[in-house]
């Protein structure tokens, strides 16, 4: 089954390549029995991916159940998942089947897996490895045939470092990782989703669908949407019910949702445990080091002009470059100071430069041109150079720039860079 057919079947809206990649991975892994870990921010639609996996698998005729591990109290989650025997604890007046018993042969979707208690993680690991479990208060080993699809909106590696998540369970769950993009990573889909929700709520409340002016559309497309699709859907429903004007401009939007004006500029909000802001800093560091190299080269050129043409300039020795820094792409560690030179090598002496029309110690009239120091334009220039060097191959260009392919794609879209 192709991606577009799956989108229509499960009501998924959007054409982002990142979204298509997640759906394609779900389609490919559905026919297998592999354990899947779905990663993504809250509200991006991780449960929809789990439904795709179940409905396209050989278990599609069996039951699927979704469990929010963060919503079940720690004292009762073992009983909920694995069941308990009568008298196992106070209030256990009868035997109870757990989800792994009732959904035998089907699929269990464990959302917010990072919130699962450590002792429950040990029981889950045993099920994943052998299919065996023991009810609370029992000594009898039982077996189950359940496929586990897990999801998380937190960095599990960070939880492992804090001893709140088992490393062996992480690697067992992460057999096939699927990353669902946040809404701000698929901005081209925001207006499409807005129109879809507006149409749905117009039919539900028997009214005309709300629409946006061009400026209002630009406003919602540049908002970060920390609540992702869930936040967008709630806003459209609110507007459909409360707004008297069906053509919304910026002022109408801000009256109902003043948070849309928050852009969090110029800093970049850290949403992935520091990885995204670190990637942005790498571009900035690379830009600063290239500027330093350019300045060093310019000093060398001026120094050689003075020396080779016997010019009498005071403090000319201060123009002599000592080292050339940063001569090849490198990745910067977050704790490395910006001023520290990378791969410092001695600079080679330039050949003599002869100044034409040099007479009586004077120079021709020149025009001083101020260099454009815009960070945005320098970022675009670096990306264009990398793409040109690698003939449009994004993966290699991203490695050259020292950033992830996903960040490179977002920058290309953000700055409308022609590949």
Q: Give the ranges where 31-68 is alpha helix by DSSP (H).
A: 46-55
Residues 208 and 343 in one domain: no
In the Cβ-directed half-sphere of 212, how many Cα atoms lie within 13 Å? 23
Q: Could you tell me the CATH number of the domain that includes residue 105? A: 3.40.50.300
pLDDT score recorded for residue 333: 45
147 shares its domain with 70: yes
Closest CA to 173 of 25, 37, 19: 37
Residue 270 within any structural domain of the chain: no
CA 123 to chain centre: 31
Of 7-11, 124-128, 269-273, 376-380, the poorest mean pLDDT is in 269-273
- What is the number of structural domains in the chain? 3
Same domain, 133 and 44: yes
Predicted pLDDT at 165: 96
Is residue 7 situated within a structural domain?
A: yes
112 inside domain: yes
Q: Which domain holds residue 44?
A: 3-181
Residue 279 pLDDT level (bands cut at 50, 70, 90) = low
pLDDT of 278 reads 53
Instruction: Note whether 299 and 371 are same-domain residues.
Output: yes
Same domain, 24 and 132: yes
- Place 343 in a pLDDT band, splitting at 50, 70 and 90: very low
Residues 90 and 125 in one domain: yes
Does residue 267 fall inside a structural domain? no
CATH at 195: 1.10.8.60
Q: What is the mean pLDDT of residues 125-139?
A: 92
* Dihedral in degrees, nearest 10, Cα atoms 310, 315, 319, 320: 70
End position of a domain, from candidates 210, 235, 261: 261
Domain boundary among 181, 211, 229: 181
Q: Do both 27 and 126 map to the same domain?
A: yes
Question: Do 329 and 303 fall into the same domain?
Answer: yes
DSSP symbols for 289-332 = HHHHHHHHHHHHHHHHHHHHTT---TTGGGG---EE---S--PP
Residues 386, 347 within the same domain: yes
What DSSP string describes 7-33?
A: HHHHT-----HHHHHHHHHHHHHHTS-
Beta bridge partners of 107: 64, 147
Give the pLDDT confidence score for residue 277 in this predicted structure: 52
Q: Answer with the residue of higher pLDDT: 89 or 303.
A: 89
For residue 380, being part of any structural domain is answered with yes
Is residue 268 domain-resident? Answer: no
Name the percent of the chain lying above pLDDT 90.
53
One domain, residues 332 and 215: no
Residue 229, domain member (yes or no):
yes
* Same domain membership, residue 282 and residue 407: yes
CA trace torsion 169, 175, 181, 182 (10° rounding): -10
Work out the average pLDDT over 323-332.
44
Domain co-membership, 246 together with 170: no
Q: Is 269 a domain residue?
A: no
Q: Which residues pair with 83 in a beta bridge?
A: 97
The pLDDT tens digits for 227-263 are 999 999 999 999 999 888 889 999 989 988 899 987 6
Domain boundary among 181, 202, 225: 181
18, 81, 80: which is closest to 49 by C-alpha? 18
Burial of 8 (0-12, 13-18, 19+ CB in 10 A): exposed
């Amino acid at each position: 089954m192709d991606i577009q057919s799956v989108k229509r079947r499960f009501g998924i809206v959007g054409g982002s390549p990142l979204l298509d990649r997640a759906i394609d991975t779900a389609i490919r892994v559905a026919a297998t029995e592999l354990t899947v870990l779905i990663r993504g921010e809250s509200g991006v639609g991780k449960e929809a991916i789990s439904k795709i996996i179940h409905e396209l698998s050989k278990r599609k005729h069996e039951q699927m159940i979704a469990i929010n591990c963060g919503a079940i109290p720690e004292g009762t989650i073992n009983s909920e998942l694995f069941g308990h025997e009568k008298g196992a604890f106070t209030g256990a007046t009868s035997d109870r089947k757990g989800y792994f018993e009732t959904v035998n042969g089907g699929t269990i979707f464990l959302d917010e897996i990072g919130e699962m208690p450590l002792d429950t993680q040990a029981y889950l690991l045993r099920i994943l490895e052998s299919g065996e479990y023991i009810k609370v208060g029992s000594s009898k080993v039982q077996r189950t045939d359940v496929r586990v699809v897990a999801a998380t909106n937190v960095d599990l590696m960070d939880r492992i470092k804090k001893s709140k998540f088992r490393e062996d369970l992480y690697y067992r769950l992460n057999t096939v990782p699927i990353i669902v993009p946040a809404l701000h990573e698929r901005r081209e889909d925001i207006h499409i989703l807005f129109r879809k929700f507006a149409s749905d709520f117009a039919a539900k409340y028997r009214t005309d669908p709300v629409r946006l002016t061009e400026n209002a559309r630009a406003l919602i497309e540049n908002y970060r949407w920390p609540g992702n699709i869930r936040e967008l859907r709630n806003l459209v429903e609110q507007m459909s019910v409360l707004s008297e004007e069906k053509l919304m401009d910026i002022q109408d939007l801000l009256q109902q949702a003043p948070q849309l004006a928050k852009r969090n500029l110029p800093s970049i909000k850290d949403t992935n445990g520091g990885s995204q802001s670190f990637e942005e800093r790498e571009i900035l560091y690379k830009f600063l080091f290239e500027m330093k190299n350019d300045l060093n080269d310019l000093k060398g050129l001026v120094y050689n002009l003075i020396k080779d043409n016997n010019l009498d300039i005071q403090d000319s020795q201060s123009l002599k470059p000592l080292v050339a820094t940063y001569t090849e792409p490198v990745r910067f560690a977050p704790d490395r100071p910006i001023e520290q030179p990378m791969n410092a090598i001695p600079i080679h002496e330039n050949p003599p430069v002869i100044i034409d029309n040099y007479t009586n110690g004077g120079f021709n009239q020149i025009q001083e041109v101020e260099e454009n120091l815009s960070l945005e334009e320098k970022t675009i220039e670096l990306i264009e150079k990398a793409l040109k060097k690698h003939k449009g191959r994004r993966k290699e260009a991203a490695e050259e720039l020292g950033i992830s392919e996903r960040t490179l794609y977002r920058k290309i879209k953000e700055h409308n860079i022609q590949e």
